[in-house]
Structure 1
Amino acid sequence: MTGALVYVMGPSGAGKDSVLARARAMLAPEAPVAFAHRYITRPADVGGENHVSLSRAEFALRRGHGLFAYHWHAHGNDYGIGREIQAWRAIGLTVVVSGSREHYEKIAGSDADLHPLLITAPSGALQSRLAARGRENAVEAAQRLARSTAYSIRDPRLVTIVNDGPIDVAADSFVRTLARLHCSPGALRRA
């Protein structure tokens, strides 16, 4: 049985990493869910996102050898999700990836077990979160904010979580979405 692929996306500042980290902590250790890390051509110590930092040359080498299941370019950086997710899915794990809305438009419909999930927030929250995280200068933050409405995902399977309150509320919504993909949803949560 091939595991599902939950493709998480949303505008910069929506709190995707925070929601995923909290949801991950809510899951039981034995839950059959694997969270993929991203490979990014950005230093590991910039902005708090947990990722594997690669130089542009390292990224190009991996891309050239087919080591990415998905890859895209955004905000001046290259992003990739490793092919290891295919092995995880092959053994029945549900795999969660943090992707790009623009890239999703290119892969939508390519996988029957692909489940799109949009994490978003009101414009004011996006703006204040971008300013607070300090990853971008004012011009870059404004560009990211402008992109927040640039993509509209038109997929009937899309689940949207509005992250505009306590992080536990959004994370609980995420865990409930994962539970709907499994026959025994009670087994996903920590006791």
Structure 2
Amino acid sequence: MAGILVCVVGPSGAGKDTLIAGARKALEDDDHFVFPRRIVTRQPSEAEDHDTLPPERFATLREQGRFALSWDAHGLSYAIPGLVLDDLAGRRIAICNLSRRALGDARTRFPETRVVLVTAPRETLRSRILARGREDGVAVDRRLDREAAMTNLPVDCTISNTGAVETHVGEFVAFLRGLTADRAPEPFALGRFAS
């Protein structure tokens, strides 16, 4: 049986990285779960947990098929590292921050895909994005308008991230633990790099 790819999606400012970080901490001793860092052609920041590659290097690795998934959004390129394929072959559950634009490709490539939608009211999203300091109000409103058009996604779990972080991390962790029934991960191979 293959592993499960859990795609955490939602609009900018919904708190996807916060929930993923909380779940990573809560599940750090459970071999069922891996939390690969996505790769982005943007410098890291406190608002987004990722690894960075220059655009030219990213393009080379994409052409070489070194990513499990890749996509473009907002003038940047994003990818999930190829090591995820080893995790899925080992019957693990890989939790990734994914763009809704990449869901079709994810479902095609990985039949055992689950989708967690993280959302919040528009004004909450707007204030969180503005606090990052990367975009002005007009750009943020345009972004939110584009994202509002991406609705009607088939999802397996929805988290309205408006209350206490611990509460919503608990909801997320409960969903993830529910995926482990009858699933024993295979032992890590010696010398394998952690995702």
* TM-score of Structure 1 vs Structure 2, range by shorter chain: 0.7 to 0.9
Map of 2:146 onto structure 1: 147
Residue 18 (1) aligns with residue 18 (2): yes
Compute the TM-score of the two structures, normalised by the length of structure 1. 0.88
Please list the CA deviations of residues 136-181 of structure 1 after superposition, one character each: whole Å capped at 9, or x if unmatched: 23333222211231212432x5211110101111111110111110
Comparing 91-100 and 103-112, the one that deviates more: 103-112
Tell me, yes or no, if the aligned pair for 2:69 and 2:106 is still in contact at 8 Å: no
- Aligned with 1:70: secondary structure? strand
Q: Which runs of 5+ in 2 are unaligned?
A: 184-195
Please tell me the residue identity of whatever aligns with 2:62: R
Map of 1:160 onto structure 2: 158
Counterparts of 1:109 and 1:91 in 2: how far apart (Å)? 19
Compute the TM-score of the two structures, normalised by the length of structure 2. 0.86
5 Å-filtered alignment, 1:127-138, equals 127-138=126-137
Structure 1 pair 143/60, CA: closer, same or farther in 2 (3 Å)? same
Please tell me the residue identity of whatever aligns with 1:179: R
Map of 2:187 onto structure 1: none
Identity of aligned residues (%): 35
Structure 1 pair 47/76, CA: closer, same or farther in 2 (3 Å)? farther
Counterparts of 1:162 and 1:31 in 2: how far apart (Å)? 28
Map of 1:75 onto structure 2: 74
Counterparts of 1:96 and 1:153 in 2: how far apart (Å)? 22
Tell me, yes or no, if the aligned pair for 1:10 and 1:118 is still in contact at 8 Å: yes
Q: Which runs of 5+ in 1 are unaligned?
A: 186-191
Map of 2:192 onto structure 1: none
Map of 1:29 onto structure 2: 29
What is the root-mean-square deviation in Å for CA atoms of aligned residues? 1.9
